[in-house]
Amino acid sequence: MDKNIPLIRKLGAFIALSESELSFLASLHKRRRTFAVGSDLVHQGQPDQAAYVLDSGWACSYKLLENGQRQIVDFQIPGDFLGLRSLLLNVSDHGIEPVTDIKVTKICATDFLNALEHTPRLATAVLWAMSCDEATVVERLVDVGRRNSTERVAHFLLELGARLTLVGLGSTDGYACPLTQYLLADALGLSAVHVNRVLRQLREEGMVTFQNGFVDFDNYDQLVNFAGFEQSYMDKAGQLRY
C-alpha cells in the first residue's frame, strides 16, 4: 500500500491501520481534483456535503464578516482535512480557498459516515486528527488574544515550521512558505502594513527572515525563547499511542 498518500501517512502515525482500513483510504484516493488559486473550494454559508483531503499545495479556511474584513482561521498543508467540520455540521460556517494551486481528494458525506460505522478505528483516528486541528485553532486564539504583534508573528512562523516538519516539509533551518504578508495579516488579526514592519524588525534582530517565499530561522533558539514557543503539544500529537 502506498505510504506516500499524505492522509495515510498522517492517520497511520496515530494508529496502526489494518489492511481493510488502508484499502478503504486508498480507494478514496481515486477521486482527485485540482483547484487553482482564486477558485474557492467551499463558500461560506453553502450547504455542504463534501470534505476534502489536501494532497499537495496549501489552502486556508477563513470567515468573512459583514464589514468585509476576514479572519483566516487556519492554513492547511498536505495531509490535512479541508472542511471536515462543515460535513458534520451540515452547513459550511467558513470558506476555504487555495493559497497555491492544489490537488485534493474529495470525500462525500455518505462515504465518510459509512466509513466511520464500519471501520471504528478509523473514526478514532479522525477524532485524533480533529483534536490536532482544534489545538492549532486554540493556539491561534492565544496568539491573537494575548501576544503582541512581534511575538505573534514569531510564534506563528515557529508553529507553522513545526507542523511542516512533521510532514517532512521543514526543519529548524526554515521552510518554503507561499504565504503573502496579506494572508499573514488576515490570519493574525493585524494589518498588512504592520506585518511588514514586524517582519523587518525580526529580520533586523537576526531571528527570522521571511523573504522570497522562504522562512529562514536565523537564530532558532532565540526565536523560540522570544516567542514563548512550547512545542510539546506538537511532539505528542505525532506520537503513536494506540
Interface residue with DNA, options 13, 111, 189, 233 (CB under 7 A): 189
Shortest Cβ distance from residue 218 to a second copy (Å)?
22
131 binds, among DNA, a second copy, none (CB under 5 to 8 A by kind): a second copy
Ramachandran angles phi, psi of 212, nearest 5° = 55, 35
Give how far Cα 113 sits from Cα of 51, 94, 123, 208, Å.
Answer: 12, 21, 9, 43
| Number of residues that this document lists for the chain | 242
Between 141 and 176, CB nearer to a second copy: 141
CA distances from 237 to 128, 160, 163, 190, 208 (A): 8, 14, 10, 29, 25
Binding to DNA by CB under 7 A, coded x per residue (else -) over 126-155, reads ----------------------xxx-----
Residue whose C-alpha cell reads 498588512 in the numeric block: 192
38: left (phi over 0), alpha (psi -120 to 50) or beta: left
Binding mask 203-242 for a second copy (x = CB under 8 A): -------------------------x---xx--xx-x-xx
CA distance 220 to 110: 45
Task: Kindly state the cell numbers that stand for 83.
Answer: 472542511
Contact pick of 49, 90, 114, 180 for DNA (by CB under 7 A):
180
CA distance 145 to 122: 34
CB 191, CB 185: distance < 8 Å: yes
Name residues contacting a second copy, limited to 69-88 (CB under 8 A): 69-71, 73, 84-85, 88
Taking residues 190 to 219 in sequence order and writing x for each that binds DNA by CB under 7 A, - otherwise, the string is xxxxx-xx-xx----------x--------
181 in contact with DNA (CB under 7 A): yes
- Partner from a second copy, DNA, none contacting 148, C-beta within 5 to 8 A by type: DNA
* Gap between the Cα atoms of 102 and 235, Å rounded: 27
Nearer to a second copy, 29 or 147 (CB): 147
Residues that bind a second copy (CB under 8 A): 45, 63, 65-67, 69-71, 73, 84-85, 88-91, 93-94, 113, 116-118, 120-121, 123-124, 126-128, 130-135, 137-138, 140-142, 144-147, 188-189, 228, 232-233, 236-237, 239, 241-242
